[in-house]
Amino acid sequence: MLSIGKLSGLTGVKVPTIRYYEQIGLLPKPERNEGGQRIYNHTSRERLNFIRHARELGFPLDDIRELLALSDDPDQSCDAIDAIAKRQLAEVEHRLVRLKALHKELERMIVQCTCGTVQTCRVIQVLGDHGLCAADHQKIVSHDIDQ
């Protein structure tokens, strides 16, 4: 029998986030006490831990929703689960490649700057003229690198 604050402390998920997960249907609506405050049990705690861990591994909430649904049916094949995990792995690998290219380019740009005036600043020059770049981030789109 846990208050939302206790559950938060035990799982490391913030109180408003727990309420948010409930709101979007990721966590079932819990019991309430006479005063109308939420009370949780061990099952809620496990489910929330699962969600948190999956978030830590970068799974989007929609995938987590699906993973939770699949995990409720223990006799099914886990192919679908595997597919989601592999998709996430591919996504992470994709981001890694882009981020490495970015890193290289940023570093190159910064190293070349001799820190004089804005007029001769290599950073500004490179940002203004893509031709000064190494070619390897030509096709990066913002979606790949945000956050």
Partner DNA sequence: GCTACATCCTCTAGTAACTAGAGGTTCAAG
Partner DNA sequence: CTTGAACCTCTAGTTACTAGAGGATGTAGC
Nearest to 50 by CA among 26, 33, 19: 26
Among 25, 36, 116, 131, binds DNA (CB under 7 A): 36
Q: Which does 117 bind (CB under 5 to 8 A by kind): DNA, a second copy, none?
A: a second copy
Residue 92 phi, psi (nearest 5): -65, -40
Shortest separation between residue 76's beta carbon and DNA, angstroms: 24
Q: Which does 105 bind (CB under 5 to 8 A by kind): a second copy, DNA, none?
A: a second copy
Nearest to 72 by CA among 87, 57, 52, 50: 50
Site for a second copy in 49-78 (CB under 8 A): 49-50, 53-58, 67, 70-71, 73-78
Token pair belonging to 97: 């490649």
